[in-house]
Amino acid sequence: MLLRSPALATDLYELTMAAAYFANHVTGNATFELFVRELPRNRNYLIAAGLEQALDYLHALRFSAEDIDYLKRHPVFRSVPAEFFDFLQDLRFTGEVWAIAEGTPVFQNEPLLRVTAPIIEAQIVETFLLATINFQTMIASKASRVVSAAAGRDVIEFGSRRAHGTEAAMYAARAAYVAGCAGTSNVEAGLRFAVPTSGTIAHSWVMSFDDELAAFRNYMQVFPYAATLLIDTYDTVAAARKIVATGLRPQAVRLDSGDLGELSRAVRQVLDEGGLQATRIFASGDLDEWRIAVLVAAGAPIDAFGVGTRLTTSFDEPVVGGVYKLVELESEHVARGKVKTSPGKATFPGRKQVWRRSGASGTYVADVIAAADEPVLTDSEPLLSCVMRGGTRVQPAPPLAEVRERCRVLVSKLPAALTKLEAGVAYPVHFSDRLKAEQQKLVGAKSDR
Amino acid sequence: MLLRSPALATDLYELTMAAAYFANHVTGNATFELFVRELPRNRNYLIAAGLEQALDYLHALRFSAEDIDYLKRHPVFRSVPAEFFDFLQDLRFTGEVWAIAEGTPVFQNEPLLRVTAPIIEAQIVETFLLATINFQTMIASKASRVVSAAAGRDVIEFGSRRAHGTEAAMYAARAAYVAGCAGTSNVEAGLRFAVPTSGTIAHSWVMSFDDELAAFRNYMQVFPYAATLLIDTYDTVAAARKIVATGLRPQAVRLDSGDLGELSRAVRQVLDEGGLQATRIFASGDLDEWRIAVLVAAGAPIDAFGVGTRLTTSFDEPVVGGVYKLVELESEHVARGKVKTSPGKATFPGRKQVWRRSGASGTYVADVIAAADEPVLTDSEPLLSCVMRGGTRVQPAPPLAEVRERCRVLVSKLPAALTKLEAGVAYPVHFSDRLKAEQQKLVGAKSDR
């Protein structure tokens, strides 16, 4: 499933630190946690995504001869003994991973992933894990809003051409599907992840025939049951009239420019009067959750939305700033909590679990981030579970359609204010008293020095 | 050089249209041009980038048995005859490509790429070409601003963890280097494209030892000549004092939080008074061109900037909206210009060339977009040249360091107002009289129908 050899898909400092850990015989198990310090603006919750790609990577991690040769020739490594490169050659990920399942709504400070492994292994995977989880979580979170706004109408992701490259396009399609999109235009996501793929036609198809009607007819001859005709190349309503007049019965028509609310009404009327009640209207063109909400509220007769650029780049908030922080380090077989005290970036020590409490109606009420070994919180369910042990997956990846359905159910349990587009009341996330006390103890010890 | 098999890295409609062209025996040569209709906000110019990956793709394009099997099983293709899949199996890109060289400043409406090939070949490559050129052009354009703001100080790209996945991270590093960054933290970009790579240390390194000084010493033991010590884990100025007191002589120290202007002054003073005049100060932490400009204007003693998130995602403008439009189609061996007349999205017909005129000082004055066969414009140079013929590169890819140097020279020829961070006077780009007349003729003909 892994698409390219990614041992060097990392920041150089991960590898220089690895060399320095190696030379200093720092070999104990370290635990890192991946979490987002603050929700992005315009996001009341995030949808965790990208875990399967993270696990694929960990499972397959190895340095090729080419990789090692590159590092050996790198000037920064000139003072590093050859044994380090022998060590890299044999390096595999042998650690344990706990994670929150893909498709789960998550909040600030909640570890989405917890990695425990010999410190070199746990360190060098930082960049890949962050890039993968940050990106897919960002897209899933944006898609969840778009899907909410569409209020039951299908949303098709089709922003591949504006994605940050073609790999980003494929994974954006995957993450958007997890969060509830009905499908994507990205064929690679169809092949690799069984995301349903669909498409319409482009202006170039229409323009490549002498008249628009010939273009429509010629397409429908090949795709009689599955044609969505793009009708805005010259004049949208006139094109709808031509379709009716000629007796074509396309599955759908697509509007891609102009006032979509007004045009959808005019086109719906033309189609209905022409007996094409079954022909659906598909709308696209710089859409996002806000514009869709306006169209839906105005009762525009649009059956499905194609959302590209603004979904596939998470245009209004193109970053989820997840971090990956050392929280525990074993030294002489004793695990000790670790904290950082930089202003605004302080961390909490030790391995953690996230507990989510539901109210009587099943709606989520609050989360508590506790030490992993604190007693079970009543009325709450733990969100992190063990997904990899000894470098091997505990379970095979679930089918993506199942992940999507689970996401749908979990999002429906969020307090209603959170699934509105506007910034709502923040969902309550607390640290347990024990974590707070342990942080204070370590912070105090640091400032004494 | 190509990292994964990307024939299916495309939108489904490219392939359904291909099937429909095939069934309708539309086989003539088509010409598509890739251009950006409007510059993004906050960009006075773009830097073309990504061409080499586009050519790699075109050269390697082929459908695998797995790809074809997926398409055959796809419900939308159930009405498509088997001959189409045989055709796909043998399909190679055999066309001609003209392009503006990577690293060239470009403006609205200027074709960065012009593809002429049998229409199916020219059509199905749309998505890959757009995703690739849009993305790298976006990053190079952002990086050019950041490099300008740094006014001669080194800028290191190190936003991999916030990139839209790990492939995006690698290509962002490449594009940032083209536009003048001194290097990247992304090791894969070093291996694949010889982008210089460098790094510092992370907070986790500092935290993994009992005290900060031990962390510094242990790192410098392994990297005596190439250590950049991160000094903000606990207290930035105190850490600088410890370094001086202990006689460590790191190549550089890195500040990553707090008031970078104030801290850099305090740290510089500590270092200088301690005889560490040669130790450079490297600053990072949510930087972009605006923040760097403020630090530079205030005379902060910072020698190099590490720029991550906001560069690697082009945070303020995470999309370059390039489009790929049919401009000419050969039918019965006669090439005919094509236009689209959708409101706000009208195009100009036929193959084009971009001419750039320089003033006496060598500074660029204006561009003219003309038909490719219009006579040479005096005092102007043509920007598009033939880079692929018959599906084969005309020349091997130039070394990236050369592309970067060329970019530096060309950016220095831009009118000064354009390289300021603020929105300047728009650079003049005109269509030739002949193109305007031909567009009017075709638009008139369309509205008659």
CATH assignment at residue A33: 3.20.140.10
How many domains is chain B built from? 2
Q: Chain B: nearest CA to A319, how far in angstroms?
A: 6
Question: Which pLDDT does position B136 carry in this prediction?
Answer: 98
For residue A4, being part of any structural domain is answered with no
Strand (E) positions, A215-314? 228-230, 252-255, 280-283, 304-307
By C-alpha distance, the chain A residue nearest B231 is: A342
The whole-number average pLDDT for the span A178-193 is 97
Closest-approach residue (CA) in chain A for B171: A165
What is the chain B residue with the closest CA to A238? B449
Which three-class secondary structure state does DSSP give residue B2? coil
Q: Are residues A155 and A126 in the same domain?
A: no
- The residue range of the domain holding A231 is 146-312
Strands of the B364-371 sheet, one edge to the other: B380-382, B352-358, B364-371, B429-431
pLDDT in tens, B38-88: 999 999 999 999 999 999 999 999 999 999 999 999 999 999 999 999 999
The answer to whether residue A1 sits within a structural domain is no
- Best of B10, B66, B71, B204 to disrupt the A interface (most A CBs within 10 Å) is B204
Please indicate, yes or no, whether residues B397 and B359 belong to a single structural domain of this protein. Answer: yes
Residue A374 lies in a domain: yes
Q: For residue A2, tell me if it sits in a domain.
A: no
In-domain check, residue A3: no
Query: How far is residue A313's CA from residue A6's CA, in Å, rounded to a whole number?
Result: 23
Is residue B447 pLDDT above 70, yes or no? no
Per CB-CB distance under 8 Å, the chain B contacts of A226 are 16, 75-76, 79
Average pLDDT over residues B188-213: 93
Non-local (6+) Cβ contacts of B214 within 8 A are none
B324, B296 in Cβ contact below 8 A? no
Could you say which residues from 255 to 284 on chain B have a Cβ atom under 8 Å away from some Cβ of chain A? 256-258
Whether B159 has a pLDDT exceeding 90, the answer reads yes
B396 to chain A nearest CA, in Å? Answer: 22
Is the pLDDT confidence value at B448 over 60? no
State whether A69 and A152 are in the same domain.
no
pLDDT value for A202: 92
Nearest to B164 among A164, A191, A221 (CB): A164
| pLDDT band, very low/low/confident/very high, at B2 (cuts 50, 70, 90) | very low
Boundary-marking domain end, from B293, B312, B331 = B312
**pLDDT at residue number B176:** 98
Distance from CA of A449 to the nearest CA of B (A): 8
CB A314 within 8 A of CB A142: yes
| A333 reaches B (C-beta below 8 A) | no
Single-letter code of the amino acid located at B178: V
What is the β-pairing status of strands A384-389 and A392-393? antiparallel
A41 at the B interface (CB within 8 A)?
Answer: no
Over residues B136-161, mean pLDDT: 98
User: CA–CA separation, B138 vs B132, rounded Å?
Assistant: 10
CB B244 within 8 A of CB B272: no
- Alpha-carbon Rg for chain B, nearest whole angstrom, is 26
Chain B neighbors of A4, CB-CB under 8 A? 3-4, 167
Measured distance CA(A315)–CA(B342) in Å, rounded: 24
Residues of B (180-239) whose Cβ lies below 8 Å from A = 185-188, 190-191, 197-205, 207-208, 211, 218-219, 221-226, 232-234
Give the Cα separation of B366 and B2 in Å (integer). 37
**Smallest Cα–Cα separation from A381: which of A138, A104, A109, A144?**
A104
SS3 B325: strand
Count CB atoms within 10 A of the CB of residue A172.
33
- Shortest distance between the Cα of A219 and any Cα of chain B, in A, equals 6
Task: State pLDDT tens for residues A119-151.
Answer: 999 999 999 999 999 999 999 999 999 999 999
- Average pLDDT estimate for B221-244: 94
**Same domain flag for B382 and B366:** yes
Of B20-24, B306-310, B328-332, B366-370, minimum mean pLDDT range: B328-332
Here the CATH number for the domain that contains residue A219 is 3.20.20.70
Please state the pTM of the whole predicted model. Answer: 0.97
Amino acid, single-letter form, for residue A171: Y
Distance of CA A76 to the CA centre of its chain: 35
Q: In the listed set A279, A312, A345, which residue is the last one of a domain according to the structure? A: A312
A409 Cβ contact partners less than 8 Å away, ≥ 6 residues apart:
none
Contact A319 B162 (CB under 8 A): yes
pLDDT, tens digit, for every residue of A220-264? 999 998 899 999 988 999 999 999 999 999 999 999 999 999 999
**Predicted confidence (pLDDT) at residue B3 exceeds the cutoff of 60:** no
The answer to whether the Cβ–Cβ distance between A329 and B166 falls below 8 Å is no
Clarify whether residues A265 and A158 are in a common domain.
yes
Question: For residue A57, which amino acid is it?
Answer: Y
Q: How far is CA A128 from the centre of its chain?
A: 14
The predicted-structure confidence for B32-48, as pLDDT tens digits, reads as follows 999 999 999 999 999 99
> Is residue A59 domain-shared with residue A90, that is, in the same domain?
yes
Do B423 and B360 share a structural domain?
yes
Residues in A touching B446 (Cβ below 8 Å)? 234
Say yes or no: B44 and B157 in one domain. no
Query: Are B208 and A30 an interchain contact pair (Cβ–Cβ within 8 Å)?
Result: yes
Do B172 and B308 sit in the same domain of this protein? Answer: yes
List pLDDT tens digits, range A82-126.
999 999 999 999 999 999 999 999 999 999 999 999 999 999 999
pLDDT interval class at B255 (50, 70, 90)? very high
Quote the crossing angle between the two packed helices A12-23 and A83-90, to the nearest 10°: 110
Tell me the nearest-neighbour CA distance from B137 into chain A, angstroms: 10
- A212 pLDDT band, cuts 50/70/90, is very high
DSSP assignments along A196-207, one per residue? -B-----HHHHH
CB contact under 8 A, A208 and B13: no
A5 assigned to some structural domain: no
pLDDT tens digits along A292-309: 999 999 999 999 999 999
**If DSSP codes are grouped into helix, strand and coil, which group holds residue B357?**
strand
The structure tokens listed for A448 are: 């004494």
Torsion of CA B121, B122, B127, B130, to 10 degrees: 140
Residues B423 and B299 both lie in one domain:
no
Calpha distance B108→B40 (Å, rounded): 9
Which residue among B9, B23, B219 places its CB closest to the CB of A166? B9
Q: What is the mean pLDDT of residues B20-37?
A: 96
**How near does any CA of chain B get to the CA of A86, in Å?**
17
Tell me whether residues B258 and A343 touch, CB distance under 8 A.
yes
Beta bridge partners of B52: none
Final residue in a domain of this structure, among A312, A342, A376: A312
pLDDT band per the 50, 70, 90 thresholds, residue B1: very low
> Do you know the residue count of chain B?
449
CB B284 within 8 A of CB B303: no
Statement to judge: residues B180 and B249 lie in one domain: yes
Task: List, for residues B403-433, the tens digit of each pLDDT value.
Answer: 999 999 999 999 999 999 998 789 999 999 9
Residue A379: CB atoms within 10 A of its CB come to 11
User: pLDDT digits over A7-33, tens only?
Assistant: 999 999 999 999 999 999 998 999 999
Q: Is residue B1 part of a domain?
A: no
The proportion of chain A whose per-residue pLDDT surpasses 70, expressed as a percent, equals 97
Instruction: Tell me if A220 is assigned to some domain.
Output: yes
- If asked whether residues B212 and B321 sit together in one domain, one would say no
Q: For residues B232 and B282, what is the distance between their CA atoms, to the nearest angstrom?
A: 12
